[in-house]
Amino acid sequence: MSLRAVLRGATSPVVIAVAALLLMFEDFVWSMVAAAVARIARLRVIAGLEARAARLGPGWAMALFVVPFAVVAPFHLYGFYLIAIGHAVFGVGIIVAAKLSGTMVLVRLFQVCRPQLMRVRWFARSYYWLVRTKRALYGRLHAMPVWVAVATLVSELRRRIGSALADLRARANLVRARGLLTLARLRAARGGWGIGLFHGPVPGPGE
């Protein structure tokens, strides 16, 4: 197969549509990871560790940045081993969990140690090259009609899901408010739970 045929296949509408969905899903996952990392970073223990990491030199910061890869790699291998012996669900689950946890740690480490990491020349050059390449590719993809159509569809789907979730939350809040109001009225009528039932006068035998 010629290079021209490969390039033609790579730019087909189906491939572009799949790529658009994958990249949009990746952006969605990244936003969730960033929000989760921000919540975890507010913990006092994590904040103390991050303060120490921010004071490291470039060499130590680079070494710390490599640690998550070394920690996650055995879990990836174990996941592939489980897939090879027929336990695909568990294997994929372990790989995905390791990937997400490793990504969370890497994202936060980069945010904390970015000034030191950017002082390492090869790392800074590689980072800026990746950023420029990603922007160039995204610019070309975003200009394609298929991408625009998929992006419009996904945006409308997210809007509808968000609207439905907001409606469900509003209804749940309304039901909760009505329940609290009914509970308050019952307590006011009985003078407190159980008072009218258990602390009222005991009727006599003829009553």
Q: Angle, nearest 10°, between helix axes 88-117 and 44-54?
A: 50
Q: Angle, nearest 10°, between helix axes 145-190 and 13-41?
A: 40
- Rg (Cα) of the chain, in Å, rounded? 28
Q: Output the pLDDT for position 6.
A: 40
Q: Output the pLDDT for position 75.
A: 85
Q: Angle, nearest 10°, between helix axes 13-41 and 88-117?
A: 70
Average pLDDT, the chain: 76
- Number of neighbours of residue 182 by Cβ within 10 angstroms: 10
Q: Is the dihedral of CA 91, 93, 96, 98 positive or negative?
A: negative
Q: Angle, nearest 10°, between helix axes 13-41 and 121-142?
A: 130
Tell me which residues of the chain have a pLDDT lower than 50. Answer: 1-10, 193-200, 202, 204
pLDDT digits (tens, 9 = 90+) for 150-193: 777 777 777 888 788 888 888 888 888 888 888 888 887 776 54
Burial class (CB in 10 A: 0-12, 13-18, 19+), 72: buried
Q: Output the pLDDT for position 81.
A: 83
Query: What percent of the residues of the chain are helix, what percent strand, and what percent coil, each to the nearest 5?
Result: 85, 0, 15
pTM exceeds 0.95 = no
Length of the chain in residues, anyone? Answer: 207
Say how far residue 105 (Cα) sits from the centre of its chain.
13
Q: Output the pLDDT for position 181.
A: 85
Which string of DSSP letters, residue by residue, matches 80-128? HHHHHTT-HHHHHHHHHHHHHHHHHHHHHHHHHHHHHHTTSHHHHHHHH
Q: Output the pLDDT for position 26.
A: 66
Q: Is the dihedral of CA 95, 100, 103, 109 positive or negative?
A: negative
